Amino acid sequence: MPSCSCEKYADALVLYMETCVACSDNFTKPFPDNVVDDVMWYKIQRCLRAAGQPTLSALVCQLMRDPQEHYVETTNALLETPHHVLDASTLFFGFISDMNLMEFLNGAYEKMGMPEKAQRLVSGFVCF
């Protein structure tokens, strides 16, 4: 069975996604608490970062039970990524539904010297 501990991140990510699909009846039901928890979301984040998808990794933070506990760690992981990663990050900005996460990501992009990305993030944020 693949796992993050063997550094087979792509295989582990597929396994985690299959688990999500199976236990939620193809995403039509909520995830059961005893299967999908913050530990699993953290592992999914780690797999996405290893796959060169730091923005998707940050978005996963919204799915955790208490995402505010993980904002700093998520932002630090984004800051540690190379600035030239091409993960189509601006296309994912519309999926951010948490104002606090948006503020943390905006700060990270400012620190990385990417004001145009920070501006796109803020201008693309839709308040519900």
Read off the pLDDT of residues 32-90 as tens digits, 9 standing for 90 and up: 988 899 999 999 999 998 888 888 999 999 999 888 888 888 888 888 877 666 677 78
Residue 5's identity, in one-letter code, is S
Is 124 a residue whose pLDDT tops 60?
yes
* pLDDT for the residue 2: 47
| Cβ-contact 103, 96 below 8 angstroms | no
What pTM, to 2 d.p., does this model score? 0.81
Is 1 a residue whose pLDDT tops 50?
no
Q: Minimal CA–CA distance to 104: which of 70, 81, 66? A: 70
| Cβ-contact 106, 114 below 8 angstroms | no
User: How far is the C-alpha of 20 from the C-alpha of 32, rounded, in Å?
Assistant: 9
* pLDDT for the residue 37: 92
Is 128 a residue whose pLDDT tops 90?
no
